[in-house]
Amino acid sequence: MKRVLLSAVCMISAPLYAQQSNILAPVPQIAVTSRGEVKVTPDRASIQISVQTRAATAAAAADENAQKQRAVVQAIRGLGIDAKDISTTGYNVYPEQRYEQNREPVIVGYNVTNTVVVELKSIGMVGRVIDVALGKGANMINSLQFYSSNTDSARREAIAIAVRQARADAEAAARAAGGSITTLLEVTVGGYYPPPPRPIELRAMAASAKVADTPITAGDQTVAVDVTTRWLFSAR
């Protein structure tokens, strides 16, 4: 996994009670904000697959659509995809109209679009699912998203990286200021930035001739965590 480090440093004086005294005295501190980043490889995918049909009547378009989408789902199930991982996300029926000047629009046909989303637990299945869906009548691949199912270990590693970097930056700042850091006063784990699903927009029309297997590459994603630290500064 690749790591990226970002940080910011500032010197502050916080009011703390001096030893053996009831008088508030400013105690110099160094505050550092740092970000740790860890690259993760996606292991899950989500595909939106649509069947769009057109006919003279809405009923005819819907009937043809149902037959094709049923064949698509059965073909995907045939790859070992569980039924609970295939769900309908959209169903639209809309008329096609012809417009002429100074006349009311005339309906010339109906379009029906049925969209299902397929959740895959293996990146290696993406190309096969796309290919069998197109082969059974799907004519739109609306979107493909990659994501990681478990980022907990990467998040903790990013926290550790950020804290180590914060300490190194605090030490550098202290040396430049003619002193050193002595005690860690506070660590705040701030913003956590999990990798968002990585979208890949696809538009595909099914072809009658057999095509080559669809190649799919997931790439890496970044888990990022911000931490803020405060260190006690001691002058030489």
Q: How far is Cα 15 from Cα 91, in angstroms, rounded to an integer?
A: 63
For residue range 116-150, what is the model confidence (pLDDT) as tens digits? 999 999 999 999 999 999 999 999 998 898 888 88
The pTM score is 0.67
Q: Which of 71, 63, 142, 73 is nearest to 110 (CA)?
A: 63
Q: How far is Cα 46 from Cα 197, in angstroms, rounded to an integer?
A: 9
CATH of the domain at 114: 3.30.70.2970
User: Is there a single domain that holds both residue 65 and residue 119?
Assistant: yes
Q: Residue 138 has which token pair?
A: 């799907």
Domain range for 122 is 44-147
User: Is there a single domain that holds both residue 48 and residue 29?
Assistant: no
For residue range 12-71, what is the model confidence (pLDDT) as tens digits? 555 544 455 555 667 899 999 999 999 998 899 999 999 999 999 999 999 999 999 999
Answer whether residue 204 shows pLDDT above 50. no
The total number of structural domains that make up the chain = 2
User: Is there a single domain that holds both residue 105 and residue 156?
Assistant: no
User: Is there a single domain that holds both residue 142 and residue 158?
Assistant: no
Residue located via tokens 């950020």: 162
* Top-confidence range, 3-7, 10-14, 174-178: 174-178
User: Is there a single domain that holds both residue 83 and residue 14?
Assistant: no
